[in-house]
Amino acid sequence: MKLSRLSWLALVMVASQGWAQIYKSTDADGNVVFSDTPADSSSEQVQLHQTNTTPPPPTVQPDKRPSTEQPVTVEATVPQATITTPANETTIPMGGGNFSVSAQVEPGLGQNQFLRLLLDGEAQGEAGTSGTWNLSNVFRGAHDLVVEVVDANGSTLSSSAPVRVYVMRPSVR
């Protein structure tokens, strides 16, 4: 019986399991043949060494106890705005009620986040990414300024601390 090299390898593996005898011979064409029975008196017995084996790793059963750990949640950092000018309790001198407001944002605006200036609770212009607003013709008296960080829908994400300014304007009687 002729066997290919792959068949021989399979046979060696099976033989090593049952320790069957393997014989090697050469046929009339000069091909080496392995068989479990001797082909003729020129067949020689192949001595196989014991195959190395290792046991499988132990099976680990999953822990069935309920977990006492709280799930970890990652919260996005909401930028915080701070009005840098004018300072709180500043008096805006005579000049038609014109002044500038500046704010800084930490750690910076994210995608689809904008700044909106509120004067006495009323938005001044459209929300944008600039932290500077020029106000003109603000009526005399006390006014509260707040800068909000808003999302693309206009929802407030955070607000600065209010800054109160006092605008002086001439009055006509």
What residues does each domain of the chain span? 5-46, 80-167
Integer angstrom CA distances of residue 26 from 22, 23, 46, 105, 123: 14, 10, 13, 88, 99
For 75-132, write each residue's pLDDT tens digit.
568 899 999 999 999 998 877 789 999 999 999 999 999 999 999 999 998 999 999 9
What φ, ψ does residue 117 adopt, rounded to 5°? Answer: -95, 130
Angle at 163 between CA 161 and CA 166, to 5 degrees: 165
How large is the average pLDDT for residues 136-145? 92
Report the pLDDT value the prediction gives residue 52, as an integer from 0 to 100: 82
Res 153: pLDDT: 92
**Range list of β-strands (E), 6-162:** 22-26, 32-35, 44-46, 80-85, 90-92, 99-106, 113-119, 122-123, 132-135, 141-151, 156-159
- What is the CATH T-level fold of the domain 80-167, as seen in this structure? Immunoglobulin-like (2.60.40)
Check residue 84 and give its pLDDT. Answer: 96
Span 30-81, pLDDT tens digits: 898 888 888 888 888 888 778 788 888 888 888 777 766 666 555 568 899 9
Q: Using the predicted structure, report yes or no on whether residue 19 has a pLDDT greater than 60.
A: no
Residue type, 161: A
Q: Are strands 90-92 and 163-167 parallel, antiparallel or unpaired?
A: parallel
pLDDT score at 67: 67
Amino acid at position 105, single letter? V
* pTM, to two decimals: 0.55
